[in-house]
Structure 1
Amino acid sequence: MITALYLAHLNPVTNAHVEIINELKKNADKVKVMPVVFKSGDKEINSKSFPFNFEIRKKMLTSIFGDSILVTDDYAFFAPFKKYMPPLLSPRSWELRKQILKGVQGDFFSYTGDKAEGYMLKLYRLKPKVGQRKTLSAAAVKESLYDSALGRETNWKNNVPESVEKIIKENWDIIKKFSDLEDKTTRVLGMKFPKEGWSE
């Protein structure tokens, strides 16, 4: 059995994500999709960069793929996030690898559209396949959502599946909440972490 591992923000799920997952389904017996999660104890930390919680993103994915993919929260960082640094030297970062591979039997590969991320996945022996980066990014769609919440004309609905559009509308209060807030994000070695929980 070959398992494809897809680690991504998926915040929100876009047409590009759907395209990637459909490709992975063709090349693997099982696709394990892991939206990144940041936790402090049992509480998930959300921010302007990571507005939708895991359950909402899981709902987005299952609205499209049903049970044809496995969606888990195994790609989870636990506060304090700085303990995952530096990569490779931090025992916590190797624990994350074990979480990612939880339940995986037989051969596997991971997917990324980012060369730098592919290099990191290779160092962690997650057998990356580096695809071509999609022109549509979740970050751009997210910004369109925030612009829309602030009353500007945007075309965000064209960039997400219909079922995801519905889920976003059902959770529009989240978009409104973060739309005019500062993005409290820490960037380290190209990775983004919420400032809350970085050094607690």
Structure 2
Amino acid sequence: MITALYLAHLNPVTNAHVEIINELKNNADIVKIMPVVFKSGKTEINSKSFPFNFEIRKKMLTSVFGNSILVTDDYAFFAPFKKYMPPLLSPRSWELRKQILRGVQGNFFSYTGDKAEGYMLKIYRLKPRVGQRKTLSAASVKESLYDSALGRDSNWKNDVPESVGRIIEENWNIIMKFSGSEDKTTRILGMKFPKEGWSE
């Protein structure tokens, strides 16, 4: 039994994500998808960089793949997020590894399209396979969504599966909410964290 672990923002799910997940399905018996989640207590923290909550992203994934994949919130950071730093030395960062491997039996590997991220996954003994980074990024699709909300030309529907597009439209109020707002995130060692919850 081989499990593929895919840790990603998936905010939103794009055609590139679908391509990656299909590749993982061809190379593993189980594909465990973990959209990153930031929490303060039991409340998820969302921002311009992370607009859609876990449940909406899970709905996006299942709209495409049904029950052929496993979607969990095991890739969850709990405030204060600064306690995950520095990597390797922080006990909290090793707790995160345990969460990621929750329920995983037998052999496993993780996937990333980023070499630096692959290095970190290797340090945490998550057996990374580094693939080729896709041209289409969730960040660019997200910016296209915000452009559309602000009345600018946008072709975001071409970059997401049709079912995901419908879910985005059902939750368009979220895009409207964040489209004109400041991005309240901070980048630490190459990873974005919400400013809210960083040091509470």
Q: Give yes or no for TM over 0.5.
A: yes
Unaligned runs of 5+ in 2: none
**In 2, distance between residues paired with 1:186 and 1:86?**
15
Cα distance in 1 for partners of 2:177, 2:150 equals 11
Q: How many residues align?
A: 200
State the one-letter code of the partner of 1:91: P
How far has the Cα of 1:139 moved from its partner? Answer: 0.2
Considering only aligned residues, what root-mean-square deviation do their CA atoms show, in Å? 0.2
Deviations 1:37-93, CA, capped at 9 Å, x for gaps: 000000000000000000000000000000000000000000000000000000000
For residues 130-149 of structure 1, the aligned pairs below 5 Å read 130-149=130-149
How much does 1:174 deviate?
A: 0.1
Q: CA deviation at 1:11?
A: 0.0
Alignment TM-score, normalising by the size of structure 2 = 1.00
Aligned pairs for 1:83-98 within 5 A: 83-98=83-98
- Percentage identity across paired residues of the two chains: 88
> What CA distance in whole angstroms lies between the structure 1 residues aligned with 2:192 and 2:90?
17
Q: How far does residue 169 in structure 1 lie from its aligned partner after superposition?
A: 0.1
Question: How far is the alpha carbon of 1:113 from its aligned partner?
Answer: 0.1
Letter in 1 for 2:150: L
- The aligned counterpart of 1:47 is 47
Letter in 1 for 2:118: G
After the TM superposition, which residues 115-130 of structure 1 pair with which residues of structure 2 at under 5 Å, given as runs? 115-130=115-130
Distance across 1 between alignment mates of 2:81 and 2:89: 14
TM-score normalized with structure 1 length: 1.00
Structure 2 partner of 1:14:
14
Corresponding residue for residue 38 of structure 2: 38
Indicate whether 1:99 and 2:99 are aligned. yes
Partner of 2:193: 193
SS state at 2:50 partner:
coil
Shift, 1:152, TM fit: 0.4
- What secondary structure, in the 3-state scheme, does the structure 2 residue paired with 1:27 have? coil
Letter in 2 for 1:164: V
Partners of 2:50 and 2:163 lie apart in 1 by: 20
1: CA distance, partners of 2:28 / 2:181: 40
Q: Once the two structures are superposed, what CA deviation does each residue of 1:90-130 show, in whole Å capped at 9, x if it has no partner? A: 00000000000000000000000000000000000000000
2: distance between equivalents of 1:140 and 1:185?
A: 17
Return the letter of the residue paired with 1:112: T
Task: Please give the alpha-carbon distance, in whole angstroms, between the structure 1 residues aligned to 2:121 and 2:182.
Answer: 31
Secondary structure (helix, strand or coil) at the match of 2:26 reads helix
Counterpart-to-counterpart distance in 1, 2:121 and 2:36: 15
